[in-house]
Amino acid sequence: MFISNREKPTFVDFDENALATTFYTSGTTGLPKQVCFSHRQLVLHTLALGAALGGRKGLGLRAGDVYMPLTPMFHVHAWGMPYLATMLGLRQIYPGRYEVDAILRWREAEGVTFSHGVPTVLQMVLGGAERLGIRLDGWQMLLGGSALTRDLADAARATGMTIAAGYGMSETGPVISIGEESADPYSTIRSGKPIPLVSAAIVDEEMKALPCDDAASGELVVRAPWLTPCYPGDEPASRDLWRGGWLHTQDIASIDEAGSIQIRDRLKDVIKSGGEWISSLMLEELIIRHPDVAEVAVVGVSDAKWQERPVAIVVATRDGVPTHEAINALLARFVEEGAISRFALLDDVMLVDALPRTGVGKIDKKLLRQALEAKSKPCSRNA
């Protein structure tokens, strides 16, 4: 739109390093912490994200797309996507409350081509589409916040959707990496390759770099010009966040030879049992393959002999109720194949009607762990 000199608004210049936003982390594993970002950081993140999504195969955000976010606007700049959509001049649809029928109506009426959200939202959308008997061809969705399983990815692709996983956190403003297409049909559900201007590495407890062979696992550390510089008002946590000159994500990851990151678990969610480190995310990915399991979260509970032991909190499907024995029988197959340790077999399975979630849709493992340690059964069908 052309604006004449007479109509042009007065714009007061300011320092690009001036504070632009502050908000709190979601606190799924600990207490929420405040983070902050400057105007310059938001611009650099937007430009890097645009370069990443505009120059790749498969899922991308480009001129002509119709954008509809399915993440809360208050959480991590809505993943920075509204800034990018505005920069590209895209038509934008904001659906309000996340009611699946309304989302599907908006998608159809407005020709939505790009959305982003957590896997729970994707699962909700797929359930609504199945109930209404509609396909979702031409709809792209970027997934983050928790692991994207192969089964959920397959279900989305079967409806005609294009999906990819991404990785980031409140402290990173948020996008660090996005899954890319390759010969492996599941490469897009990995945490992905770093977007422009991001450096990533995996390190041990002494900050020694580990090999990028997709086998070694260590804490993911990152650098980029838009990462939060500190936790305002918390100097000890800020020093720990930037120990050694890298931002410590507290996520355990591996990196392959092509530079693709795969998050293996949260540092606080890794279960230490009998000298073994057990990935709760790996167990969840295997347990969800049981036909009677609709949703699952695995946490470690204290054990006098083994330090910690894994317990699965399960939401059953409408067609069946999985037993502790049946799930362990499934896991035993993967023990025999060498995919997991025998220490990963579950000590218990708790059936619940619903898993507790944070305001942004993540499973709240902190609450689950507290409930289990207190020997309670929240929402349990067995209670």
User: Which position among 277, 285, 306, 377 bears the catalytic label?
Assistant: 277
How far apart CA 202 and CA 200 sit, in angstroms, is 7
Is-catalytic flag, 33? no
277 catalytic per annotation: yes
Determine the Cα–Cα distance for residues 222 and 248; give it in Å rounded to an integer: 7
Is 171 among the residues known to form the active site? Answer: yes
Annotated catalytic residue, options 29, 110, 242, 272: 272
Q: Which of 25, 46, 249, 358 is catalytic?
A: 25
Q: Of the residues 46, 171, 308, 358, which is catalytic? A: 171
The catalytic residues are 25, 171, 272, 277
